[in-house]
Amino acid sequence: MTGYHLSLISLTGIMIVFAVSLNMIMGLCGQVSLGHAAFYGVGAYVTAMMSAGGVPTLYALPVGMLIAGLMGLIVGFASLRVRDDFLAITTLAVGFLFVGVVRKSRALGGEFGISGIPESGLGPAGDAFLVAFCVVLTVALSVYLSRNWTGLAFRSISANEEAAQTLGINSAHYKLLAFCIGCALAGLAGGLYANYARFIVPGTFGFSLSITAAAMVVIGGIGSTAGVVAGAVLLTLFPEIFRFLGDYRMLVYGALLVGVMLFQPKGLAGIPSMVRRWAGPR
């Protein structure tokens, strides 16, 4: 296995953590977020600044998570006030606000970002192992959450918030929880990314990354952890898989997005049941 493969695997792992974190907010709890890259960016910037200041990566990562989680809590309060399309637009604005502020902030390196982030000291294999560990942890948390009482509450809010409230579910409490956990995990993914790339610029954390994450969730199958993991793997490796397309990759990417939405709106997670319907007794 070459260093290139190792780095590709790390990147895929980071995107899995990121996509699964968005799925907690969007898939489980049903709150559409189009600015999730901002929290990834918060995690990346906090971790990068602390690493550059001499703090070991393993200590910097949780701090990045914590701060991203707190930011998520603040945006979560917005989700109590606005709903549906209005929430989608609010989170979209949060994404633009983050990039706009970072771009003009001299302390955060402005347009040029932060370069020369020191190595974690774990070595390439150690870094890959760290990413793998975080992936396992995130996926386990997501599966655990979706199967216990909290996940049920999330799903009920996603299905019908008024009905959930009538049944005595404190929807505000659970929405804030979803934003908090989801954004903290996005911060973790961002911290891992800063450690992986060792060079970050504000443009990375813009609208297109938020959309990529949303596409991973929806193409994978909204609400299904396994589907979202598959979606994240597929879209991260997309440039590799479709390398033969050369200059036409974005064209095909757009067409793929449209095609999945038209013919398989439940995403990859909907395929097994479709196959079963075909193969099963009629």
Partner 1 sequence: MYYVDLLISGVAFGCLYAMATMGLTLVYGLLRILHIAHAALFTLGAFVGVWVFNASGSLIVGLIVAILAAVVMGCLIYRLIYESILSQPPYVPLLASLGVLIFLQDGFRIVFGEEGLTVRHNPFYMANFTIGAFSINVIYIVMAGGALISMAVLAFFANYSRHGIAWRATVSRPLLAANFGVNVIQVRYAAFAAGSALAAIAGVLVALMNNLVEPHSGELISYKGLAIIVLGGLGNMQGAFIASLVLGIAESFGIGLAGRYVDRDAIAAVALIATLMIFPNGIGRART
Question: Which stretches of the chain bind partner 1, using CB under 8 A?
Answer: 26, 32, 78, 81-86, 88-90, 92-97, 99-101, 103-105, 207, 211, 214-215, 218, 222, 247-248, 250-251, 253-259, 261-262, 265
Smallest distance from partner 1 to CB 231, Å: 12
Smallest distance from partner 1 to CB 84, Å: 7
> Which DSSP category does 223 fall into?
T
CB 131, CB 57: distance < 8 Å:
no
Rounded to whole angstroms, how far apart are CA atoms 269 and 102?
Answer: 37
Smallest distance from partner 1 to CB 248, Å: 7
Smallest distance from partner 1 to CB 95, Å: 8
User: Smaller CB distance to partner 1: residue 86 or 133?
Assistant: 86
Q: Which ranges of the chain would DSSP assign to H, the alpha helix?
A: 3-23, 37-52, 57-81, 84-104, 123-147, 149-159, 161-166, 171-197, 207-220, 225-236, 238-241, 249-263, 271-279
User: Smaller CB distance to partner 1: residue 105 or 170?
Assistant: 105
Smallest distance from partner 1 to CB 218, Å: 5
User: Smaller CB distance to partner 1: residue 75 or 117?
Assistant: 75
Smallest distance from partner 1 to CB 145, Å: 21
- Residue 67 backbone phi and psi in degrees, to 5: -65, -40
- Residue 169 backbone phi and psi in degrees, to 5: -85, 125
Q: Name the region of 168 (left: φ>0; alpha: ψ -120 to 50; beta: rest).
A: left
Return the CA Rg of the chain.
19
User: Smaller CB distance to partner 1: residue 18 or 196?
Assistant: 18
Smallest distance from partner 1 to CB 106, Å: 10
CB 228, CB 23: distance < 8 Å:
yes
Rounded to whole angstroms, how far apart are CA atoms 182 and 65?
Answer: 10
* 281: number of Cβ within 10 Å: 3
> How far from 72 is each of 38, 66, 193, 282, CA to CA, in Å?
10, 10, 19, 48
User: Smaller CB distance to partner 1: residue 97 or 241?
Assistant: 97
User: Smaller CB distance to partner 1: residue 101 or 136?
Assistant: 101
Q: Which ranges of 26-122 would DSSP assign to H, the alpha helix?
A: 37-52, 57-81, 84-104
User: Smaller CB distance to partner 1: residue 129 or 248?
Assistant: 248
